Structure 1
């Protein structure tokens, strides 16, 4: 049975060592309770005194550990029951000289697309470092009582530089704390997760990678665009567009075939489409811009490699956005995905572009 109790302003006793009880203390304080950490003998004294005076009787007694003394824990439970206080047992946090780091992919932003492993890591965290691309509205609830550090990355501006993020991760872990670095998408897809792993290895800090749902696939899917489709595209290439491509790179991208997915490419899109056409890509090749995927403000714009540049001043697309280039874009608008003629005419009917806001 699971009960929900409003503990705002209520007295809660936590029985355990400072290190072992740290997460419990943080969680109940975050819930607004008046929390005290005490050893088992002091807890017994408080409860017996409250039983005699009926003054400030604790609402809840949480037994994290009782210095390994089962009899002392049982005595505290009995004393709590005698004064009408609820009691419960919770596993103490691990006590160690070095903590653990979880590099967690939070998915494209919708909390429902976070993995169970991601939520479990957050629930066990002492510290969470997060930025704008990961899901963040529910962090206080997912990691109750944890220290929350906003590392504030925005396009072209990192309020907290990467080396400082790595320093914070290692510093907290060397204090014996469990650290979560929460990222958007997948931490190993343009997420700099490998750099944070390298910092952990250099410091001798154990770590775990928690993969996430990458925006390279999930955001096009939110707009009804598959990155592969039978008899249309049997491969997809994911690239970072944060910096302009060289002519050699553009030649490879234009000739590779399949679907091209561009992350962080809004700012360099004019250069990209001009270069792809110079390298031989047809101006009629369908192109989609999916902004703020999986949010209430999602906007999908379907155009073509040749036409999109003229639309940009009016559209003013903003990051985060995923750009998809390829015949698969037609799947977002065709009436019958099994009918070749419907697919072929899908984008033609959208001249010069279509705003498929969802």
Structure 2
């Protein structure tokens, strides 16, 4: 067996060992047996909420255990195929098995990152809010580009995206928008995207074709179900109704069906205009508020654990997490991890996995922020 392939085999073995350790193999197998016992109980569905929670946990745990077992089998099978190919001097068999091992290595690398998604709400669906910064049309167009970027990322993963509210810009783009991304581990992947994003480009709205810098903020928080108890006093909230804005025509409501709720103690504001019914929009807005308060509690816990300073930042210089430069050169750089791409168009078309993986590893392992120089 060639030295390169021997190295790959060693990496795969180490990866499988790490995955088993992270999953706590023996404990997970015992828990799966316990869950299977619950599933066989004919009274399980007397409590639908509990039943659904058990089924979700069982499916997730079974998938993880089965994946690791399959990886071990695939490793053994392909090593044996290489040995057989060498004995029979069959280059086709050897090449196919080597390619399979390379693919196995890539799959394990992806699973190692996914194993970091062990947070309390990482498996949940996710809300994504995008808000334009100062700068009028430039920033509003940039906010719209970010909204499209996250929508494309979600669609590539097979997730479902729904627009909950959107406020169009005066000339182009959006002032703000909120979407919900529905899919496995949606919040776990998206949570590191919260922060200020900076764009540098030649403005299409500047008749003198000058270079402009624009800012927009992204705020990500998990969708929470009724099993999570979040206490909200209605007396602490101000509820406003207004006429929904949109692209015009028949889609614009003629009644005040859109709902905005302000939680006065925290100054958290949520709004929904996706439905024509004020009642439905109100219910969705309450769910969004519960999710924001839950996300706030998770953030406080993490900040305490990491001894980090609390507080949201303003949308502007010195607070960005990522810069996207389209002119005079092509570069996207994450200022927390140093992750780069020289193909901004691919990133803006939803190619975000490398940035998310790097930020997730940085966040989970508690590494100090990389000393990354800002870019103009």
TM-score (norm 1): 0.25
Which is helix-richer, 1 or 2? 2
Larger RCO (alpha carbons 8 Å, 6+ apart): 2
TM-score (norm 2): 0.24
